[in-house]
Amino acid sequence: MSLLAAACVFFTSCGGSNKDEESPALTVTPTALTFEKTASSQTISVTANRAWTATTTSDWISVSPASGKASDDAVSLTVSVLENTGSDREGTVSVVLGSGLVTTTVAVKQAGATGPVPQGDGSLEKPYSPAEAYAVASALAADATTEKEVYVKGKIVKIADNGEFAAQFGNATFYISEDGTETGTQFYVYRVLYLENKKWVEGNTQIKVGDEVIIYSKLVNFKGNTPENKGGYIYSLNGNTKNETPDVPVGEIKDVTVAEFNAAAESTTQFYRLKGVIASISSTTYGNLTLKDDSGEVYVYGVKASKDASNTSFSELGAAVGDTLIVVGNRGSHNDKIEMMNGYCEKLLKGKGGSDEPDDPAEAEKYASNISWTNGENAYDDGLATVGTVKNVKIYKIGTSKKAGTATIKIPKGTKKVSFYGVAWKGNATTIVIKYAGADVYTQDLAANNGATGTSPYTITIAESDHYVFDLTTVLGANGAPMDLEATLTTKTGAKTRAMFFGMKAE
């Protein structure tokens, strides 16, 4: 065979072209796509002289086909987006030629139901605008709240309640927008207290349409359809932060039975003292409950943790059904139902039957933790819960409604097993993972728990099936941890993001 013939065989054909010998070439059009908030698709065209792949790092974007061969003809790729119920968002589709010879990026933008991504951060220095607060609250799960209080700044558009309502409950309800008009996004401000976290005593004559306010409160997506504040108060009114309105005068506090209270006259100045057992709690955050004694029962609306506490402080007490509560408040009514209003806790007697009997030591030890926990991203160690009959159990939590969390646990030298109680968020069973030296060493499914919802303190009912043991000897050998070790605790990729732990022990 001649040298020329041999060369022809080696290069496949002397008269044809070999694309691997050509300079890498990739053409993608267009390189920018814009979508409305609804789920939809658009196409892009790819021409390449090498095999190519198309990828995206955004879970709301998909591309098909995801790969192709070299071709002189353009290939159509379908780029699809999911419905966007949150803020405006951006992502990319990357088309890569060969093993990274050439990369072309397609910018993908999608409008959101709640508009632009918030620019404020909720701090006093950079408060949320009404539109931003609306977007943040809308992105929460139904009845979920932000982890912390935030500041929201706007001008009053409309006052929803009349002075009688505000005076009766000591709070007010109104709408705000950025410029005080109805043209922009309005945020619903529900039952906030006045300046310095005090009650309104002049009704809504203290504010008017056009006033500029800064609200300090948590945000909530009430029932999944009403973004609003949760509790809180007006931090600033037209630049003023001082409350110069005198408090409601308090006369002599009268000690009465429930029956005597129900028979008394309505008054916003006369205060009564009631002692009874908590029969039911309809809101652990706001302190809405039914109190009973031997003479009857009465509904108590909005009990604060103490006289000078905020109107969302009741949860700080960790009260439970069966505890005895001594409460002071006014006699009022709502929808022809007698209520104690504007009340505060004077004393809470915890334990069964409202006695001062302490928790059973064995039960308390059962739910105590001895492992060192360090918060990572979206992790929290400041929660409390009532677990069975044991109150003030320290709770560790990872994850938010949409973001996974991570925490570091320190396992002492000689530890052979790690035991813990673990539950997933209400309605959202999950799987947790313990990672050591970059590898998954323990995986456990956690059942959803109806008490794992809202904010601390929680009320959690558990079963023995919620107790788990990680045997370290299966990973580290018969002697367990050879030294102090640090491991990462998180939720499994793709699983629901929130989990809670207590009774964490290194044994």
* In a shared domain, residues 402 and 502: yes
Residues 6+ apart with CB under 8 A from 361: none
Does residue 153 fall inside a structural domain?
Answer: yes
H or E segment to which residue 481 belongs: none
pLDDT at residue number 17: 47
- In 3D space, the residue among 140, 142, 250, 149 whose CA is nearest the CA of residue 192 turns out to be 149
* In a shared domain, residues 297 and 267: yes
Contact (Cβ atoms closer than 8 angstroms) between residue 139 and residue 116: no
* In a shared domain, residues 198 and 263: no
Range(s) of the domain holding residue 462: 361-506
* In a shared domain, residues 187 and 262: no
Domain count, the chain: 4
Task: Reduce the DSSP state of residue 8 to 3 states and report it.
Answer: helix
* In a shared domain, residues 478 and 369: yes
Residue 28 neighbours by CB distance under 10 Å: 23
Does residue 299 fall inside a structural domain?
Answer: yes
* In a shared domain, residues 259 and 233: no
CATH number, domain containing residue 150? 2.40.50.140
**Prediction pTM value:** 0.40
* In a shared domain, residues 385 and 494: yes
* In a shared domain, residues 297 and 377: no
Does residue 4 fall inside a structural domain?
Answer: no
Residues 6+ apart with CB under 8 A from 13: none
Strand order of the sheet with strand 102-110? 32-35, 102-110, 89-97, 52-55, 67-68
pLDDT at residue number 355: 43
Per-residue tokens: 165: 């309502």
Per-residue pLDDT of the chain (507 residues; tens, 9 = 90+): 443 444 343 333 344 445 566 899 999 999 999 999 999 999 999 999 999 999 998 999 999 999 999 998 999 999 999 998 877 899 999 999 998 889 999 999 999 887 777 688 899 999 999 989 998 999 899 889 998 999 999 999 998 765 455 555 678 899 999 889 887 789 999 989 889 888 776 655 688 899 999 999 999 999 888 999 998 999 999 999 988 765 555 567 889 999 999 998 887 778 899 999 998 988 887 788 999 998 999 999 888 888 777 777 788 888 888 888 999 988 888 777 889 887 889 888 875 444 444 556 777 888 888 888 899 999 998 888 888 878 788 899 999 988 999 999 998 888 889 999 999 999 999 999 998 888 888 999 999 998 888 877 788 888 889 999 998 888 888 888 888 888 899 999 999 999 999 999 988
Residues 6+ apart with CB under 8 A from 467: 419, 420, 421, 503
Contact (Cβ atoms closer than 8 angstroms) between residue 290 and residue 300: yes
Does residue 96 fall inside a structural domain?
Answer: yes
* In a shared domain, residues 186 and 233: yes
Distance between alpha carbon 59 and the CA centroid of its chain, in Å? 20
